[in-house]
Amino acid sequence: MSFTIKKALIPTENGYTTTDLRIEGDRITAIAADLDPVGEVIDGQNKLLLPGFVNAHTHSSEMWQRGMIPLYPLELWIEELHEFSPLEPEQIYLSALLTAAETLLSGGTCVVDHLVWIPGKELESVAATVRAYQEIGIRAFVGPLIQDETQSKGIPDGGEDRELEEYHYSTQQVLDLMQRVIEDFHQPEAGIEMMVAPTGIQLCSEDLFKGCVELSDRYHVCRHAHLLETKAQQLLAQEKYGFSAVEYLKQIGFLGDRTSLAHCVWLDDRDIEILAATHSTVVHNPLSNLRLGSGIAPILKYRQAGVNVSFGCDGAASNDGQDLLEVLKVGSFLHNITDSDYRQWIAPREAVKMASEGGYQGIGLESEVGSLTEGKQADVVLYDLTKLSLLPRTDPLNLLIMGCPNNVVDSAWVKGEIVVANGTPTRIDLEDLRRKLFEQSEWTTNRKSAHVAQVEQHYRSVMNLPK
């Protein structure tokens, strides 16, 4: 199928131009004024055309827990997360569909899903997720969240001698599962890729990390992990290695130009140099970092050091909204209070570049996708600039990123296929999804977690909080 988008506004180096853009097959084949109409003609007047963004870190199944978990730091929050996780592959399918829909309707064309799978139903979880992404037509990178250490190991000992359970799978069992996932589901040509995605240094052994590196090299899949999201994890790295977690990841070969690392809040200048030298990507998750009180990631420093930075919503249990435009807004404004020199601040035009070019760079696709360039794959989004929330008319990119846009995505294409038209996904029934989500859930309040109570005292003691 071909499309000719007529008279859309697109950003130039410093301003805007009005132009036509042609999509044939999966590619952008022409960008010029007054193109002959080929295929379906799309009216681009008073619309802004941008490359799609990558939602570069989320956990789709957490959709079932949005609005559920009270205000806790990560280490307590995660106890509730595991206690109330969905247990049926059908739920995993629906939450992946919702994640994809909210990503597409806020400017994203690709989702990186650090998937919390169902214990004992791991392959079914991945199958349900992949099915959802293929149905709705979004590009997706799926990296099951793997670990080989029990949850409580994620909190520093703080000198205490704790007796902790063994994890329910051995390291080898986890790696075997991961290999099976890659062999069964990795289909780059279809826009569905698997990733190796150990949870992070807090819950993974060295053997697990090394096994992941080996799988990544053997199958040429991307690597993904959480990195130093909280101060507790920084303390833990000191307990575990006696030196920086970033230095550790470098030594065992996990870093590289196909490695993206979520959060990166507690890194120092030496760590930042390592990320730059290894061409690793930082995924900025500003809203969950606020909700969980993790801190402000030093994003201006990353940019000054030449580290690639992209944006992620993070899972809906820690950023209960899942709107990429909100993430770009808060994720750029937030740094204005960390450096008084406004010349360092992230302008909307830069944020858009980070979310698109930076996003695809973090998953190794920068030469194929991520900008409005002839020959690149057509993962593009058309925004309706006549919506009330984008009026009066001033600077379109400023309105989009600094404002609070409401239902402004008009159309979106992934690999040349139209997946959103007239503000709604074309290939699924959004109303049917809405009804199922309503029917399969119920109002809750003040769910009390037994697990939180178990670890809270230890956590408060280690973090020097009042009893």
Helix (H) or strand (E) holding 48, with range, is strand 47-51
Q: Which is nearer to a second copy, 158 or 295 (CB)?
A: 295
Does a cis peptide bond (omega within 30 degrees of 0) precede residue 188? no
Cα separation, 256 vs 308, in Å, equals 12
The count of other CB atoms within 10 Å of the CB of residue 165 is: 10
395 touches a second copy by CB under 8 A: yes
Choice between 161 and 467, CB closer to a second copy: 467
Helices (H), 65-121: 74-83, 89-104
Please say which residue, 34 or 443, places its beta carbon nearer to a second copy.
Answer: 443
Name the DSSP letter for residue 448. P
CA distance 275 to 270: 9
Is 296 a binder of a second copy (CB under 8 A)? yes
Binding a second copy (rule: CB under 8 A), the pick from 54, 138, 246, 292 is 292
**Min. distance of Cβ 67 from a second copy in angstroms?**
4
Q: Is residue 382 within the footprint of a second copy (CB under 8 A)? A: no
Dist CA 216 CA 228 (whole Å): 22
Q: Which helix (H) or strand (E) holds 414?
A: strand 409-414
Q: Convert residues 250-279 into a mask of x (bound to a second copy by CB under 8 A) and - (unbound).
A: ------------------------------
Q: Which of residues 423-442 bind a second copy (CB under 8 A)?
A: 430, 433-434, 437-438, 440-442
Spell out, one character per residue from 162 to 181, where the chain touches a second copy: x when CB under 8 A holds, - when not. --------------------
What's the min distance (Å) between Cβ of 167 and a second copy?
27
**Separation CA 154–CA 163 (nearest Å):** 13
Contact call for residue 19 and a second copy (CB under 8 A): no
For a second copy, give the closer residue by CB, 326 or 379: 326
Helix (H, G, I), strand (E, B) or coil at 404: coil
Q: Residue 465 interacts with a second copy (CB under 8 A)? A: yes
**In 74-221, which ranges are continuous DSSP H helix?**
74-83, 89-104, 122-136, 171-185, 206-219
- Which residue, 191 or 312, has its beta carbon nearer to a second copy? 312
Instruction: Quote the least distance from Cβ 102 to a second copy, whole Å.
Output: 8
